[in-house]
Amino acid sequence: MDAHASSSSRGRDDFVPRTQLLSGDDVQRAVRRMAHEVVERVRDTEALVVLGLQTGGVAFGELLAASLLDITSQGVLQGTLDVSFYRDDVGQRPFVRSAASSVPVDLDDRVVLLVDDVLFTGRTIRSALNALGDFGRPRSVQLAVMVDRGHRELPIRPDYVGKNLPTSLSEAIVATTMGVWIGTRGAP
């Protein structure tokens, strides 16, 4: 899958890549580093639930869960979370067809690790926090993102970051498990 295909599958304007910033190997190393950080910080990995945000965070959530298994030799619960119906900007942007949430257990007294591809304004994470309430009351919620590009509109900060990539508002980032690209969004 290339950067253009990833963007188009998300229902957004076409992404025009300018530069590949991270290769697939770089992404693998970053996720493995984040997994080590999770193990250091979350001592009770039996209580951990990794939730990839639909759609961009799902593959990163799966990769992070696999890395946690490699490190701890103990599987972690893993699922997906769709925040489409919790967004506060549904009327301002085209609706992207939602994908189902798949949360493997009641989240009461669990440590939830939300995983997403790119952290930008923080609005998707705000929506995810609202969505979590439908699945229980976690002991704590942490956030892992492959790319933090800045420009926050809400007071949200990730706990684990693959790469900090400051960008201008006119630039776009596409992050997949095959690499990270910077470019622009063009008209379809």
**What structural domains does the chain harbor?**
3-186 (3.40.50.2020)
Q: How far apart are CA 123 and CA 165, in angstroms?
A: 18
| Res 84: pLDDT | 87
Full-model pTM: 0.89
Write the DSSP symbol of residue 122: S
| Res 2: pLDDT | 43
Cα-flanking dihedrals φ and ψ of residue 162, to 5°? -70, -45
| Res 9: pLDDT | 41
All residue ranges of the chain with pLDDT < 70 are 1-13, 90-98, 187-188
Q: How far apart are CA 33 and CA 84, in angstroms?
A: 30
| Res 182: pLDDT | 96
Q: How far apart are CA 162 and CA 149, in angstroms?
A: 11
Beta strands in 24-89 (DSSP E): 48-53, 77-81
Q: How far apart are CA 30 and CA 106, in angstroms?
A: 29
Taking a C-beta distance cutoff of 8 angstroms, is the pair 177, 160 a contact? no
